[in-house]
Amino acid sequence: MEIINSMEHYDYEQLVFCQDKASGLKAIIAIHDTTLGPALGGTRMWPYTSEEEAVIDALRLARGMTFKNAAAGLNFGGGKTVIIGDPRKDKSEALFRAFGRFVESLNGRYITAEDVGICVEDMDIVSQETKHVNGVGAIAGSSGDPSPITAFGVLKGIQACAKEVWGSEQLKGKTVALQGLGHVGYYLAKHLHQEGANLIVADINEQNVERVVKELGATAVNPDAIYGVECDIFTPTALGAIINDHTIPQFKCRIIAGAANNQLGENRHGDLLHSKGILYAPDYIINAGGVINIADELNGDYNKERALRAVEIIYRNIEEIIAISKRDNIPTYKAADILAERRIDTLGKVRSTFLSHARR
Ligand code: NAD
């Protein structure tokens, strides 16, 4: 693999290969862009089948974080770590201590947190070696579970979409098909119920389904049937790539807006939704509540009220993305990238002014 050439393609700043034989650590830290501030992005542990696969994933995810952080109004750049290993067998105290020392060696250019395969307890160990870690359980002032704030942000995004489609953000009487009733889905179901929406729900975990049927009077359908139910809003909050050639012909909704990451199977599926007149709330914009919540820790001790206020940006971002999409007649997923790039470009220029104490 031509690594430097690959980095040049999307202008990555730095790729750090971390190896520690004693603990078995093999990790790659990718830093995409630090125009807005230190790179912030979680650590993923996954049994990659090749180093190339791990490098590609680290690069892809780091760039995604640049866009997500920029659009969320955060003063952070984009970065991500992948640890090559099986999270069920390869975790150890030594491995996370070794990883923490590599993070520390970057002196704050990169700040890490949890991602797929990593839990709060792992990050607690990392925090013994570096202060550049967020979402830690053991430290006073940390933000804890981001899911309730993510759910609140998704509600804001859904309301902004409703305003566009029906002229009012009211969800009373609207039917929402909610896929996934886990950490985020459960809180989101409660919000939607409180707003007066009718809920049709699906999850492969029966206990999760029973809970919302009992507590909120939701109607349950089989997991495969959720795509085709008659509804106003389809809310994917379980898996990625659920907007694809198989599901698009089934959708009977006006809006797709939910928390799941990487909802579009491919970009062309975003083009297809646009041509069908289904309003799609880009995933990394509407699910940014979690990262906004984590970023609040870096303002000093975590403050939930301040984090909730910051999450309101999701409503305004969705409005702005819709405006760009209409102005340029482009799908919303492309408009989201324009919004993020605009902030990086503008603030990059503002921050180029020489300050004697900053020595940039
Ligand atoms: P979770 O694992 O707690 O919940 C996912 C739920 O989806 C589970 O209840 C699971 O049983 C269900 N599910 C899995 N496969 C399914 C299928 N085929 N059909 C129906 N249901 C299925 O995860 P979460 O933290 O609630 O996150 C949900 C989504 O939101 C994920 O895509 C995640 O990446 C994304 N997200 C979460 C956060 C956060 O703060 N937790 C932030 C941003 C994005």
Q: Is 252 a catalytic residue?
A: no
For residue 352, the model assigns a pLDDT of 84
pLDDT over 60 (residue 95): yes
Q: What pTM does this model have? A: 0.92
Structure tokens at 267: 């970009």
DSSP state of 214: H
Q: Of 16, 17, 18, 20, give the one whose Cα is nearest residue 94.
A: 20
Q: Give the mean pLDDT of the chain.
A: 95
Q: Which residue has the higher pLDDT, 115 or 43?
A: 43
What separation in Å is there between the alpha carbon of 350 and the centre of ligand 1? 38
In this predicted structure, which of 83-92, 255-264, 345-354 has the lowest mean pLDDT?
345-354
Q: Of 206, 155, 208, give the one whose Cα is nearest residue 181.
A: 208
Domain annotation for the chain: domains and CATH numbers: 3-63+75-126 (3.40.50.10860), 147-288+300-305+313-343 (3.40.50.720)
Residues contacting 160, CB < 8 A, separation 6+? 169, 281, 314, 315, 316, 318, 319, 322
287 lines ligand 1 (CB under 6 A): yes
Q: Of 37, 43, 40, 32, give the one whose Cα is nearest residue 99.
A: 43
| Atom nearest to 150 CA in ligand 1 | 40
| Atom nearest to 181 CA in ligand 1 | 9
184 lines ligand 1 (CB under 6 A): yes
At 284, is the pLDDT very low, low, confident or very high (cuts 50, 70, 90)? very high
261 lines ligand 1 (CB under 6 A): yes
Best of 184, 247, 263 for a ligand 1 pocket test (most atoms within 8 Å of beta carbon): 184
Q: Is 184 annotated as a binding residue?
A: yes
Structure tokens at 37: 């501030």
For residue 358, the model assigns a pLDDT of 64
Structure tokens at 24: 């078995």
For residue 299, the model assigns a pLDDT of 75
Half-sphere exposure for 356 (CA within 13 Å, toward CB): 0
Question: What type of residue sits at position 288?
Answer: A
pLDDT over 80 (residue 300): no
At 145, is the pLDDT very low, low, confident or very high (cuts 50, 70, 90)? confident
235 lines ligand 1 (CB under 6 A): no
Catalytic residue (choose from 68, 80, 156, 174):
80
DSSP state of 96: H
